[in-house]
Copies of this chain bind each other. A is one copy, B any other.
Amino acid sequence: MVRQIVVIGASASGIEAAAAARKKDRTAEIILITQEKTAGYSRCGLPFVIGGHIPSFRDLVVYPPAFFQMQKLELRTQTKVRAINTKDKTLTIQTKENPTTTQALPYDVLVIATGAEPYMPPIKGKEKAGIHSLRTLEDGEKIDAAIKSGAKSALIMGAGLIGLELGAGLVERGLKVTVVEMLPQILPQFLDADMAKLIQQHLEEKGIKILLNTVVEEFLGETQVSAVKANGQVLEADLIISAFGVRASTQLAKEADIALGETQAIKTNARMETDTQDVYAVGDCAEAPSLITHRPTCAQLGTIAVREGKVAGTNAGGDYSLFGGVLASAVTQLFDIQAANTGLTQTAAQRNRIEVVTATVSSKTRASYFPGAKPIKIKLVVEKESKRIIGAQIVGGEEVAQRINGLSFAIQQGMTIQELAKADTAYAPPLCETWEPMVLAAEMILMKLR
């Protein structure tokens, strides 16, 4: 009998799940459903199209229709799932062509990859038109159109990764950009305050105005938002952009009595199964445990989405695969500076009542005498009892991402700070220093532990 595998969502995790299922089950009918017009594009690339680094939004489509055809995946775009009926194993769906009727779509295995949606706090006037966000291709096109129609200034609410990447892109397009952040630092989920400060300085040098400890209180304007009131002050801008963060899209799951976890994302086990038979959840809508705290997390990163998708798809296709957990390694490029994180920040460790020793080392990305060397700063977070590395943050001009990957491997393998201090590293004058700064940071921690 031909099995029917249905995936709700056709972005990173959903497509990865479908493709993995196809590898394991050559005959199954595999259907992907998305309410979006375009499937298989890179959301992470959106700020870089706006910034002008990538010529067109269309370039972000990494899975063109031909991919789905070749993999024999049936893609249904502009289709809404209205309900998941776990008892009779069907979905209630609604197409764009027939918006007044619904139909039932049976599944043998369901993968929920509904992603996340921009979060809007309960701010006065939030129902007004003209508040942008940046989650979908259409969102990007709207911002781009506004710039082309003459927008000269932007106010971004939220200093997370998306807000700041977008802010940098808007500056590159010639706009005057102000970022408003409620917390006393930028990138609060991503970096400790000391490391975030370095990024903030760079952004300010590039002309972004950053207002910390600033709470948005009201959206101002007749029907169209033209300004916000924040900390009592009126901030006007041609473009008002909400980047308060995203929340897991769990409405469908909740209504179908599929359990959510403590992070308010969908609860999963190591196979990425939900608490409901034959239903998996992956990507930005799903929980997975932290490799360090072992508590559920919902890191909402593309790399985690594809890994979870692959595991769920492999299982959905009848094979066996486990998802180990997340370190939430992430990296960003903002103008000329790169910032990355893996594992826990010092702040996150303290929140989890883990005692840590930290050290920060400043170095260069090339031999001191080699022209073009850029500064780099590495912070290590080490658990006090085991002396294992549990987190790392890097801010620097180049070669940041792969250092974080190396430290991610180190954390994953339970590397102690002593082991890192003795690690064998490569060296060439145009590419790095003789003493790798990651190793120097480890030595600094050893000294603190003595």
Give the interface of A toward B (CB within 8 A). 12, 42, 44-45, 48, 53-54, 59-60, 62, 291, 301-304, 306-307, 323-324, 326-333, 338, 340-342, 367-371, 399-410, 412-415, 419-420, 422-432, 434-436, 438
Contact = CB atoms under 8 A, between A and B. Distances in A.
A403 B400 CA distance: 10
Contact of A412 (B42, B326, B333, B423): B423
A401 B399 contact: yes
Copies in the complex: 2
Given A413-B410, A413-B419, A430-B333, A370 B54 contact: yes
Contacts of A415: 409, 412-413
A426 B405 contact: yes
A125 to B, nearest CB: 34
Contact of A429 (B42, B303, B402, B403): B42
16 contacts: A42-B429, A44-B428, A45-B369, A291-B424, A333-B428, A401-B428, A402-B402, A402-B403, A402-B406, A406-B409, A408-B423, A408-B425, A409-B413, A409-B423, A410-B413, A412-B415
Contacts of A435: 306
Contacts of A402: 399, 401-403, 405-406, 432
A424 B304 contact: yes
Instruction: Pick the most buried of A338, A370, A414: most chain B CB atoms within 10 A of its CB.
Output: A370
B401 A303 contact: no
Contact of A424 (B12, B403, B408): B408
A438 B370 CA distance: 28
A404 B429 contact: no
A301 to B, nearest CB: 7
A327 B324 CA distance: 28
Nearest to A389: B409
B410 A368 contact: no
A365 to B, nearest CB: 10
B54 A405 contact: no
A402 B400 CA distance: 8
A249 B436 CA distance: 27
The 7 closest A-B pairs by CB, nearest first: A406-B406, A402-B402, A413-B413, A331-B426, A329-B426, A327-B424, A59-B369
A368 to B, nearest CB: 6
B428 A331 contact: yes
Contacts of A401: 399, 402, 426-428, 431-432
Nearest to A49: B369
A296 to B, nearest CB: 16
